[in-house]
């Protein structure tokens, strides 16, 4: 009740006060133009499908790479110590560089080596940049999941005569992956947004398409439309991730 | 005397600065049931874990059927198939059904689809109705019996049992002890760390009293429980039997 009243008051204040700002008329005209909204919406939605496609083919690669790096970092075999080093450097490197910078460096740098079509495509190297960054994060999430499985599980498996490899594959990993599903869901939400960074190196996806419309119509409304389209996907996805996280917490307590 | 199945000579083990085992000598004959008793922290669990190489020993020898498995670099995987171990906290795999828990090792290690044999084990130990349930759908006593079946499915020659009734509600202890009685009747070689003194007295061939990392006294159960020779054995028994 109190929450409802206070929400109403704040809402009323915003609605009354914001239009009183001196620049409001100009802002409304350039950001919230209904006509422009209707005109650009279908094209932006179509452009968004490209974002979805890039997202869709990145995800399996991110998880495959993330798992490989997590296992490389987690191995305890002294002979495979170089692999551990490699995993640690990989994670430090690609977690430490801003995604947008990596998109530029990989997306412009590698085709600049003089590769011929189709190997100079920004789709390929933009995707590679996303995979490098996000697999580094996913590797850390998976590693924390693996380490959260109690040592007694490993002991039980080893004592049955299972090999280290089978112990990881059948006993540790299935439990670890289940445990980090919520954290990985949040990762996917972030990835979905970062796909738009590929617009900087060429692909005409939603952000670039919105920029084209902005120049064409001399109006910023296309950016608002793009934001709305993103929210339609990311809000339900975030809520679902929260739901999974809560369910997990309740199940364990 | 027959050649021992398992033979420990001068086994020591420390964790950081704490010396948990201070020179253990012990022989286990084939088919023998040995109960380890002693206060918490006396080294019973560590001793069991050294017997199958789960904890590497600092010094000493662990002979299994005439082979020293405590040699550094010894491949322990085949040894562990021959020695089953069951833990206090069950340690079932929570993401697998009872059946899958049991079937995993025979399938991966022995390359054997042991369905008939495994189902027979579930029937024998009164769990036929629970074979497809997950561990969290089972009571503690049922989970522990599944853990015993899981170890038995590898056809071990020796079973190590680490306080397997200590985490159970009192009314569930009996069903697990019944399983051990059956194994004993089969002639299974068993080493059992336990706080169940009455059970030890009933079924053990030999009782080993451990105190501060050494075997303080060992002998037939009647001798240990009725007429302990050492003062500290008497003290311990007085404190637990009351």
- Has domain A33-252 been given CATH number 1.10.3720.10? yes
CA distance B175 to B126: 9
Which residues on adjacent β-strands are paired with residue B191? B34, B160
Please count the residue pairs, one from chain A and one from chain B, whose beta carbons lie less than 8 angstroms apart: 55
What count of Cα atoms within 13 Å lies in the side-chain half-sphere of residue A239?
6
- A70 to chain B, minimum CA–CA distance in Å? 21
Tell me, what's the pLDDT at B1? Answer: 53
> Does the structure show a pLDDT above 70 at A87?
yes
DSSP B28: E
- A168 to chain B, minimum CA–CA distance in Å? 12
Decide: B146 and B92 in contact? Cβ < 8 Å. Answer: yes
> Does the structure show a pLDDT above 60 at B238?
yes
Contact A158 B80 (CB under 8 A): yes
> Does the structure show a pLDDT above 80 at A253?
no
Residue in B34, B35, B23, B26 with CA at minimum distance from that of residue B4: B26
Residue B47 neighbours by CB under 8 Å, 6+ apart:
B8, B11, B21, B24, B26, B36, B193, B210
Q: Is the dihedral of CA B100, B105, B109, B115 positive or negative?
A: negative
| Closest-approach residue (CA) in chain B for A172 | B93
Q: Choose the weakest-confidence range: A59-68, A234-243, B91-100, B159-168.
A: A234-243
Buried-exposed string A178-213: b where 16+ CB fall within 10 A, e elsewhere: ebbebbbbbbbbebbebbbbbbbbbbebbbbbbeeb
Q: What is the mean pLDDT of residues A222-234?
A: 92
Average pLDDT of chain B is 91
Cis peptide before B220 (omega within 30 of 0): no
E strands, chain B, in order: 6-15, 18-28, 33-37, 59-64, 67-68, 83-86, 158-162, 189-193, 206-211, 214-219
Q: What is the mean pLDDT of residues A220-238?
A: 91
CA distance A6 to B7: 77
Which residues on adjacent β-strands are paired with residue B190? B33, B159
| Closest-approach residue (CA) in chain B for A252 | B136
Kindly report, residue by residue over A90-143, the tens digit of the pLDDT: 999 999 999 999 999 998 888 888 888 888 888 889 999 999 999 999 999 999
Decide: B57 and B13 in contact? Cβ < 8 Å. Answer: yes
Q: Which of A159, A178, A251 to mutate to test the interface with B (most CBs of B within 10 A)?
A: A159
Residue in A178, A138, A118 with CA at minimum distance from that of residue A58: A138
Kindly report, residue by residue over A18-31, the tens digit of the pLDDT: 888 888 888 888 88
* B31 — pLDDT class (breaks 50, 70, 90): very high
- A177 to chain B, minimum CA–CA distance in Å? 11
List, as ranges, residues 167-226 from B with C-beta within 8 Å of A.
Answer: none
Q: What is the mean pLDDT of residues B189-193?
A: 94
Tell me, what's the pLDDT at A251? Answer: 63
- B9 to chain A, minimum CA–CA distance in Å? 22
**Residue B100 vs residues A30, A65, B145, B153: alpha-carbon distances, Å:** 63, 29, 14, 12
Q: What is the mean pLDDT of residues A226-250?
A: 85
Residue in B182, B224, B232 with CA at minimum distance from that of residue B36: B224
Q: Choose the weakest-confidence range: A21-30, A79-88, B174-183.
A: A21-30
Q: Is B94 on the interface with A (CB under 8 A)?
A: yes
Decide: B165 and B176 in contact? Cβ < 8 Å. Answer: yes
Q: Is B109 on the interface with A (CB under 8 A)?
A: yes
Q: Choose the weakest-confidence range: A243-252, B107-116, B148-157.
A: A243-252
Question: What residues in A contact B87, CB-CB < 8 Å?
Answer: 152, 155-156
Q: Is B114 on the interface with A (CB under 8 A)?
A: no
Q: Is B73 on the interface with A (CB under 8 A)?
A: no
> Does the structure show a pLDDT above 50 at B24?
yes
Q: What is the ipTM of this complex?
A: 0.89
- A88 to chain B, minimum CA–CA distance in Å? 28
Q: What is the mean pLDDT of residues A174-178?
A: 92
Contact B81 A161 (CB under 8 A): yes
Q: What is the percentage of chain A residues whose pLDDT exceeds 70?
A: 98
Decide: A205 and A50 in contact? Cβ < 8 Å. Answer: yes
**Residue A237 vs residues A46, B48, B236: alpha-carbon distances, Å:** 20, 50, 61
Contact B105 A160 (CB under 8 A): yes
Helix axes A122-148, A181-194, angle to 10 degrees: 160
| Closest-approach residue (CA) in chain B for A251 | B136
Buried-exposed string B10-41: b where 16+ CB fall within 10 A, e elsewhere: ebbbeeeeeebbeebebbbbebbbbbbbbbee
Contact A159 B54 (CB under 8 A): yes
């Amino acid at each position: 009740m109190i929450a409802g009243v206070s929400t109403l008051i704040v809402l009323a204040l915003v609605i009354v006060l914001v239009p009183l700002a001196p620049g409001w008329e100009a802002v409304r005209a350039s950001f919230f133009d209904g006509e422009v909204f209707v005109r650009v919406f279908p094209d932006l939605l179509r452009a968004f499908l490209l974002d979805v496609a890039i997202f869709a083919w990145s995800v399996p690669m991110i998880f495959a790479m993330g798992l490989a790096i997590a296992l490389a970092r987690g191995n305890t075999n002294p002979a495979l110590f170089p692999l551990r080093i490699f995993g640690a450097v990989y994670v430090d490197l690609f977690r430490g560089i801003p995604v947008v910078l990596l998109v530029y460096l990989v997306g412009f740098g590698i085709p600049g080596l003089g590769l011929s079509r189709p190997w100079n495509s920004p789709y390929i190297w933009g995707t590679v940049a996303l995979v490098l960054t996000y697999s580094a994060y996913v590797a850390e999430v998976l590693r924390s999941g693996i380490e959260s499985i109690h040592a007694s599980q490993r002991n039980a498996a080893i004592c049955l005569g299972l090999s280290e490899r089978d112990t990881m594959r059948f006993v540790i990993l299935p439990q670890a992956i289940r445990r980090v599903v919520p954290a990985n869901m949040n990762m996917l939400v972030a990835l979905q947004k970062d796909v738009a960074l590929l617009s900087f190196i060429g692909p005409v996806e939603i952000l670039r398409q919105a920029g084209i419309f902005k120049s064409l119509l001399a109006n910023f409304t296309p950016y608002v439309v793009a934001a709305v389209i993103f929210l339609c996907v990311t809000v339900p996805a975030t809520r679902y991730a929260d739901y999974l996280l809560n369910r997990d917490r309740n199940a364990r307590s | 005397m027959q050649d021992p199945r398992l033979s420990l000579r001068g086994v020591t083990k420390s964790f950081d600065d704490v010396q948990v085992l201070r020179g253990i000598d012990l022989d286990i004959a084939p088919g023998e049931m040995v109960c380890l008793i002693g206060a918490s922290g006396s080294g019973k669990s560590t001793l069991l874990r050294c017997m199958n190489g789960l904890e590497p020993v600092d010094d000493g020898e662990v002979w299994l059927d005439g082979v020293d498995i405590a040699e550094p670099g010894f491949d322990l995987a085949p040894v562990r198939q021959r020695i089953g171990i069951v833990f206090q906290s069950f340690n079932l795999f929570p993401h697998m059904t009872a059946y899958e828990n049991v079937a995993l090792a025979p399938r991966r290690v022995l390359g054997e689809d042991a369905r008939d044999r495994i189902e027979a084990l579930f029937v024998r130990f009164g769990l036929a109705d629970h074979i497809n349930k997950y561990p969290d759908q089972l009571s503690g006593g049922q989970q522990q019996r599944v853990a015993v079946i899981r170890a038995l499915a590898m056809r071990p020659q020796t079973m190590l049992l680490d306080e397997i009734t200590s985490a159970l509600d009192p009314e569930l202890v009996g069903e697990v002890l019944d399983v051990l009685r059956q194994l004993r009747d089969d002639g299974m070689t068993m080493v059992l760390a336990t706080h169940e003194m009455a059970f030890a007295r009933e079924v053990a061939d030999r009782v080993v009293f451990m105190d501060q990392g050494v075997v303080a006294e060992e002998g037939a159960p009647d001798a240990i429980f009725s007429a302990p020779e050492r003062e500290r054995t008497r003290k311990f028994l007085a404190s637990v039997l009351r």
